[in-house]
């Protein structure tokens, strides 16, 4: 069997269900990695960072800080960015995020078919992370293109084209370091370049790696989270109406879409000691793919696992990871999605499908939309 197939991109969930029932562990013939799909197996791997190393997360662009680091280095590096994503920081930017979301929603034409990815789900997080990094929002298109190139979701791009975009991104962030080093700025770039690791500041290349990581953490998750949620709501006018009438349910809707159709589907880990799953012995050095998108729909853990329910309680999904590698951008993504929905629901009580084409992101790792055609109205 192979994991990276075309038919998995559109709707992976029937495949996940089959694997959970019939093949809870199997080896991908293309990569040699072992695929784990059951909730308890996924959780066991994610919580044990000693036995399952994150160094397997190094990708085409090379390993990024944190994503491909293990303790104790991960613990020390994480402290740098944790300071930037505190509750206090999010409270400080909440009004700014709300204004950006409100302006974007206000610009959506009533009753006309629009691509919500272009109108809202992409520009919102890009504008927010640009502001947080102290970079002109006019570079927003560059940000999105660079981010897509780094994650492998840049539509139609060859490997050489992706590498060129990543090189351009690296050069841009590198150019910011001299002007931010030693300054008093409170932006994320300044926080990174002036942070100390083991008594020394990060080298330029590592500081750039951090900036690239923050760029991804600051926009990809929100874009895909919002798109996936609006895609579900477009077919469920009852749920959209319920959110219009009960906006206090927005948080539940966000957590449920994170479980039901999450923006990140799997992570890779490399074994540092032997392990056994369902009678299959794995050796040191072998790689496992832990499929959070499957774990989140495991009927052994979740009632009505394949249904989207606003009434779900104890929604302990694994979309943002688990343990020491819990996604640093999770609180920001939740805040942006909540404020975007709040303004959409207040301005437009009616949501319908649009006339344009919908296009999923061509990625097994990230699940979202490149294009999603919707129509928002004040009445039917």
DSSP 203: P
Q: Is the residue at 40 inside a domain? A: yes
Per-residue confidence (pLDDT) for residue 60, from 0 to 100: 40
Q: Can you say whether the dihedral through the CA atoms of 125, 126, 128, 129 is positive or negative? A: positive
Listed residue (96, 98, 99) closest to 132, CA to CA: 96
User: What is d(CA 306, CA 260) in angstroms, rounded to the nearest whole number?
Assistant: 7
Instruction: Say if 136 falls within a structural domain.
Output: yes
pLDDT of residue 53: 87
Cβ neighbours of residue 137 under 8 Å, at least 6 residues apart? 126, 127, 130, 131
Nearest in space to 152 (alpha carbons), one of 141, 161, 143: 161
Is 195 among the domain residues?
Answer: yes
Would residue 114 count as lying in a domain? yes
Single pTM value for the model: 0.89
Q: What is the pLDDT of residue 285?
A: 94
Residue 353, domain extent: 7-377
DSSP 63: P
The number of domains in the chain is: 1
The answer, yes or no, to whether the previous bond of 72 is cis (omega within 30 of 0) is yes
Q: What confidence score (pLDDT) does residue 71 get?
A: 62
Which CATH number belongs to the domain containing residue 323 in this structure? 1.10.630.10
Question: If DSSP codes are grouped into helix, strand and coil, which group holds residue 39?
Answer: helix
From CA 86, how far away is CA 110, in angstroms rounded? 37
Q: What is the pLDDT along the chain (380 residues), one digit of tens a residue?
A: 899 898 898 899 999 999 999 999 999 999 999 999 999 999 999 999 889 988 756 544 444 655 556 666 666 666 666 666 667 778 888 999 999 999 999 999 999 999 999 999 999 998 998 888 888 888 878 888 888 787 766 666 777 888 888 899 899 999 999 989 888 788 888 888 887 767 777 888 888 888 888 887 767 789 999 999 999 999 999 999 999 999 999 999 999 999 999 999 999 999 999 999 999 999 999 999 999 999 999 999 999 999 999 999 878 898 887 765 567 778 888 999 999 999 999 999 999 999 999 999 888 988 999 999 999 999 86
The answer as to whether 2 is a domain residue is: no
> Does a structural domain hold residue 1?
no
In angstroms, how far is CA 101 from the centroid of its own chain? 19
């Amino acid at each position: 069997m192979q994991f990276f197939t075309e038919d998995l991109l559109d709707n992976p969930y029937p495949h996940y269900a089959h694997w959970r029932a019939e093949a809870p562990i199997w080896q991908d013939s293309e990569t040699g990695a072992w695929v784990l799909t059951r909730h308890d197996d996924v959780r066991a791997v994610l919580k044990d960072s000693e036995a399952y190393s994150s160094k397997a997360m190094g990708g085409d662009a090379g390993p990024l800080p944190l994503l491909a680091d293990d303790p104790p280095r991960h613990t020390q590096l994480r402290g740098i960015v944790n300071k930037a994503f505190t509750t206090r920081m999010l409270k400080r930017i909440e009004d700014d995020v709300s204004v950006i979301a409100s302006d974007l929603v206000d610009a959506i034409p009533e009753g006309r078919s629009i691509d919500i990815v272009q109108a809202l789900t992409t520009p919102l997080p890009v504008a927010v992370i640009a502001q947080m990094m102290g970079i002109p929002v006019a570079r927003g298109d560059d940000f999105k293109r660079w981010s897509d190139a780094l994650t492998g979701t840049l539509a139609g791009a060859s490997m050489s084209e992706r590498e060129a975009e990543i090189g351009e991104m690296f050069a841009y962030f590198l150019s910011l370091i001299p002007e931010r080093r030693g300054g008093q700025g409170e932006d994320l770039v300044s926080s990174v370049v002036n942070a100390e690791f083991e008594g020394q500041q990060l080298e330029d290349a590592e500081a750039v790696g951090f900036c690239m990581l923050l760029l991804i953490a600051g926009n990809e998750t929100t874009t895909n989270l919002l798109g996936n949620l609006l895609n579900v709501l477009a077919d469920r006018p009852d749920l959209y109406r319920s959110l219009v009438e009960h906006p206090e349910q927005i948080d539940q809707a966000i957590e449920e879409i994170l479980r039901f159709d999450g923006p990140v589907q799997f992570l890779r880990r490399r074994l540092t000691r032997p392990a056994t799953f369902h009678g299959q012995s794995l050796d040191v050095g072998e790689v496992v793919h832990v499929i959070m998108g499957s774990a989140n729909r495991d009927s052994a853990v979740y009632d009505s696992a394949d249904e989207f329910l606003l009434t779900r309680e104890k929604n302990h999904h694994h979309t943002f990871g688990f343990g020491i590698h819990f996604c640093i951008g999770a609180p920001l993504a939740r805040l942006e999605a909540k404020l975007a929905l709040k303004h959409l629901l207040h301005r437009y009580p009616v949501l319908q499908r649009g006339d344009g084409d919908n296009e999923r992101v061509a990625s097994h790792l990230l699940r979202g939309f490149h294009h999603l055609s919707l129509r928002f109205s004040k009445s039917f």
